[in-house]
Amino acid sequence: MESSVDLQPNQRLRVVHLADHTGRLQVIFPDSNMLDISAVSRITKRRFEPVSNFQSSGDPLIKPNSITTILEASMLKDAMFSIRTKVDGQYHDISSVELAEMFSGPLNRFEAISINTQLIKRPVDNHENDEEQILHALGRFQSIRLKQRIEETLEIPPLPASSHRIIRLSADKTAGTDELCEVIALDPSLAAQVISWASSAYYGAPGTIESVEDAIIRVLGFDMVMNLALGLSMGNAFQAPQDGPRHYEDFWLDSVSNAVLMESLVKTMPVPNRPKLGHAYLAGLLHNFGYLAISTILPPHFSILSRYQEANAHLSSELIEMQILHFTKEQLGSWLLRYWSLPDNIWTAIRYSKKPHYYGEHAILARLLYVSSQLRNNAAIEPSVLLEIGLTQEEAENCRDNIYQKSTELHKMVALINKMNT
């Protein structure tokens, strides 16, 4: 094998380790493909799960003929590849002939174990067609009982009473602090969460916050409390995810981190470009609402989705969701939020948050969600998007780094939410 110092045009190979109660398995496939765990199970008659919780660069290559290995059969048709033996090592060129020779022992086999991502259908471009795509996807599910359960949920989504009251209040241009305090007070758990939020070390407010009114006037402000309360109440509509991706630490930690990062980004933007701060915060808090909905509505499929995400950490969540569910969490989440009558800019931004070149209505908020996601995943941000929202790469990264420095305070805030929701 020859060393590949520069970027190579050759297809890179990905190594993933799987295991069940009887042993381990190594699989190797092109990194432009998605590992099909179901195909591996059909071939081996065993139920494997990824060993690593989340390894975006793949697992290290175990010495050939020392462990059972299955390789993607289509690789025998191509001439050259690049592979590395260590996660942080260099890629080396290897031909399909050399690959076949290296893995010619009795512990190895070539099978169709992965899916070319170019063949995976993408979500529809326009949100107006989301419902049709989602309902068409439901028809693919084998279980009639499960299908009926999802359709009932989609047709009559159960809007939490506290959320309904806050949405009504947000449409009242004459509403003030007194009205908001009254609405939040109707849900003692929600009121306690808002007060705890304002009292947290993250905001560093002097003295003791003793009421929702204190939280509004002294610390958070009217818009922030309204949108915070709305996000918390809507998040509480569904149960916390069970059996999710093992690298995914906590739904609320992810949501809160994104919300405060959105808040920081908006405050750093040029004033003429800024969306409403409260709406940016709410969009950040609810950005992953579809994930929560999938985990509650489709627990068996959510578990399968989670394992595929662990094995295919090199791919976007959108591709994996389209292969397993035939719709994305952004489609489902924004669909529900839209029919729950949330402000148009919130659900629109969430729907198009994975599309950096969306230029429709509320594009600025959608781009902010895109930037926030890229920052938190240490992924590249398209320079044109930063230019359009009026931020430099350095300014955006400083916002993220400042949030990370306060991670201890954020964990404490999230712990309060989780405690009150149990």
Is residue 156 pLDDT above 50, yes or no? no
In tens, the pLDDT along 276-317 reads 888 999 999 999 889 888 888 788 888 899 999 999 999 999
Of the candidates 279, 292, 257, 296, the residue with the CA atom closest to the CA atom of residue 153:
296
* Average pLDDT value for the chain: 86
The two three-digit tokens of residue 59, written as one number: 């697992």
Q: Tokens representing 380?
A: 């590249």
Q: For residue 112, how many C-alpha atoms fall within 13 Å in the half-sphere facing its CB?
A: 2
Residue predicted with more confidence, 148 or 275 = 275
Of residues 171 and 394, more confidently modeled: 394
Phi and psi for 35 in degrees, rounded to 5?
A: -65, 130
Using DSSP's 3-state secondary structure scheme, residue 15 falls into: strand
Per the CB < 8 A criterion, the answer to whether 16 and 309 are in contact is no
Both tokens assigned to 46 = 């065993």
Residue 3 has pLDDT above 80, yes or no: no
Mean pLDDT of 187-198: 86
The candidate with the shortest Cα–Cα distance to 42, out of 119, 113, 109, 120, is 113
For residues 370 and 238, the model is more confident at 370
Interval 84-124: pLDDT, tens:
887 778 888 999 999 999 999 999 999 999 999 999 999 99
Residues 6+ apart with CB under 8 A from 319: 34, 117, 120, 312
pLDDT of residue 5: 42
Over residues 154-182, mean pLDDT: 78
DSSP secondary structure string, 363-414?
HHHHHHHHHHHHHHTT----HHHHHHHT--HHHHHHHHHHHHHTHHHHHHHH
Per-residue model confidence (pLDDT) at position 172 = 80
Q: pLDDT band for 141, please (50, 70, 90 cuts).
A: low
pTM for the whole structure: 0.85
For each of the domains in the chain, give its residue range(s) and CATH number, in order of start: 2-119 (3.90.960.10), 127-156+238-421 (1.10.3210.10)
